[in-house]
């Protein structure tokens, strides 16, 4: 699938597009993946005007670009722009990976894959047969439900401050849950079972503002993995809260690296080793702490 062969100096261009985008760690991640796999790529940042996403994408494509990672606030626009969608992108209603090929623009969503892989491969927690609590019902939550269902959990409870949004999400995935033999339920914060879950995922943006999502403290147990999709140099307020209740806490840095590895695979047909790249990013964050 790679356009670059042995002795071929051709370099394929990729970028992360967003607004803001200067903070993105994607160029570092993909540069490491390219070194590791021998793929000939160049990866940069692309700042798009808030009202000019499609124009920037089309200009990048016209200049020979091969693909883009899409970050906030353009994932819904990327979904609309794609000519074809993967099943997981269609289910998520959002796209974080664009690939340009002979058939036009292909849209995928690797966020949920990244979350699931981080939980299972890096953190060693099996989702099969697990009771999962998903806090939040926005775009971040919607992108991870189908990949989690594919791992065969026993139950997924979706809880949101606005119960109607949770019910909408539950309805959207009811069929897939039935096929997977998984109970899917939820609603407002009162829908949290006052007993420990195996995995609690914070898909709200609360940690950006140091705000805790409303959740019964009895949902956290000593064998609970409390996973925050956000990350930073210091543990998030959600992680500290979970640890104070005896739970094991993890941030979303591994999800970032794993979704990038899946994007790399979508583009190049080569699956990089994420572990050394995640370790390097951890070291960078620790130096900032």
Which residues are documented as binding site for shikimate? 24-26, 71, 96, 111, 231, 259
Beta strand segments in the chain, E: 12-18, 41-47, 67-70, 84-85, 97-101, 104-108, 131-135, 155-159, 183-187, 199-202, 225-228, 248-250
Alpha carbon 148 to its chain's center: 12
Residue with tokens 């130096």: 287
Q: Enumerate the known binding-site residues.
A: 24-26, 71, 96, 111, 136-140, 160-165, 229, 231, 252, 259
Closest C-alpha among 75, 80, 66 to residue 15: 66
Residue 45's CB is within 10 A of a number of other CB atoms, namely 17
Q: 3-state DSSP call for residue 37? A: helix
Q: Given 75, 79, 142, 268, which residue is catalytic? A: 75
In angstroms, rounded to a whole number, what is the distance separating the alpha carbons of residues 206 and 196? 21
In angstroms, rounded to a whole number, what is the distance separating the alpha carbons of residues 199 and 96? 24
Cα separations (Å) of 49 from 4, 59, 74, 157?
32, 13, 10, 37
Q: What's the distance, Cα to Cα, between the start and end of the chain in Å? A: 40
Is 128 catalytic? The answer is no
Q: Indicate the helix (H) or strand (E) that contains 280.
A: helix 275-288
Q: Which sequence positions are flagged as catalytic?
A: 75
């Amino acid at each position: 699938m790679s356009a670059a062969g042995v002795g071929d100096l051709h370099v394929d261009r990729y970028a992360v597009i967003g607004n803001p985008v200067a903070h993105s760690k994607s160029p570092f991640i993909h540069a490491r993946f390219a070194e590791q796999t021998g793929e000939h790529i160049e990866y940069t940042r692309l700042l798009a005007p808030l009202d000019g996403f499609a124009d920037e994408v089309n200009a990048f494509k016209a200049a020979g670009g091969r693909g883009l990672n899409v970050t906030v606030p353009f994932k819904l626009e990327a979904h609309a722009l794609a000519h074809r969608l993967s099943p997981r992108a269609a289910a998520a209603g959002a796209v974080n990976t664009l690939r340009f090929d002979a058939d036009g623009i292909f849209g995928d969503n690797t966020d949920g894959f990244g979350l699931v892989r981080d939980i299972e491969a890096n953190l060693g927690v099996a989702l099969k047969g697990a009771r999962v609590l998903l806090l939040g019902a926005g775009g971040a939550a919607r992108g991870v439900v189908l990949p989690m269902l594919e791992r065969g959990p026993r139950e997924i409870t979706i809880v949101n401050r606005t119960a109607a949004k949770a019910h909408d999400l539950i309805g959207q995935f009811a069929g897939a849950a039935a096929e997977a033999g998984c109970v899917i339920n939820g609603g407002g914060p009162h829908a949290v079972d006052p007993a420990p879950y195996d995995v609690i995922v914070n898909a709200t943006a609360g940690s950006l503002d140091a705000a805790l999502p409303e959740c019964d403290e009895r949902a956290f147990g000593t064998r609970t993995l409390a996973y925050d999709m956000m990350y930073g140099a210091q543990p998030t307020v959600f992680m500290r809260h979970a640890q104070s209740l005896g739970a094991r806490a993890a941030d979303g840095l591994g999800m970032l690296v794993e979704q990038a590895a899946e994007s790399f695979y979508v583009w190049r047909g080569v699956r990089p080793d994420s572990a050394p790249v995640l370790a390097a990013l951890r070291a960078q964050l620790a130096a900032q702490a």
